[in-house]
Amino acid sequence: MIKAIYPGSFDPVTNGHLDIIKRASKLVDKLVVSVLENPHKKSSLFTVEERIENLKLVTKDIKNIEISSFRGLLVDYAQQIDAQVIIRGLRAVTDFESEFQMALTNKSLFPNIETLFIPTSIEYLYLSSSTVKEIAMFGGNICGMVPCEIKESVLKKFRK
Ligand code: PNS
């Protein structure tokens, strides 16, 4: 059985993330999408619990998926849940350097883990959680950037 972990901040989950989730879930037996609990990051839009709820909502139709959160090193958590593969999405070449460094670091910490890069679908090439937050902050249209189910909750954060 191949179990993979797709880690990230997902603040908020975007259609680009969802595209990677859907495609990765077809490649493995079990996909664990896991939100990093980062105690040093004070400026998150959504709490970890809210991000988990959002991920559950937008992946409710995918059967072989589990949503969780983790603290500390990704490879420690991967070992704990018996995941053999780390999934990461790649957008532009600019992602490559940091993602490659992360993959090599994870491999050096835990040689049994493999990182699988999935290239983004072309329509999400420009998309990131930061872009979504910036557009929402200035009242712009985030339709098509985040799943419909969470669009209101993103906009609500900026109305407060
Ligand atoms: O969505 P993001 O913010 O690009 O995800 C980054 C993430 C969570 C995958 C990365 O920061 C991570 O794995 N953090 C856990 C700490 C860790 O294991 N660091 C060593 C690898 S560089």
Q: Which residues of 122-153 are buried (b: 16+ CB within 10 A; e: fewer)?
A: eebeebebeebbeebeeeeebeebbbeebbeb
User: Residue 160: pLDDT band by 50, 70, 90 thresholds?
Assistant: low
Residue 36 structure tokens:
């990093």
How many whole angstroms separate alpha carbon 85 and alpha carbon 89? 13
Active site residues: 17, 41, 91, 129
What would the pLDDT profile of 30-46 be if each residue is shown by its tens digit?
A: 999 999 998 887 789 99
Q: What residue ranges define each of the domains in the chain, with the CATH number in brackets?
A: 3-125 (3.40.50.620)
Residue with tokens 């849940």: 81
What would the pLDDT profile of 86-122 be if each residue is shown by its tens digit?
A: 999 999 888 899 999 999 999 999 999 999 999 999 9
Provide the residue type at 105 as one letter.
T
Q: What's this model's pTM, rounded to 2 decimal places?
A: 0.97
Atom 21 of ligand 1, residue of closest alpha carbon: 102
What would the pLDDT profile of 112-158 be if each residue is shown by its tens digit?
A: 999 999 999 999 999 999 999 999 999 899 999 999 999 999 999 99
Q: Where are the beta strands (DSSP E) in the chain?
A: 3-8, 30-36, 65-70, 85-90, 114-119
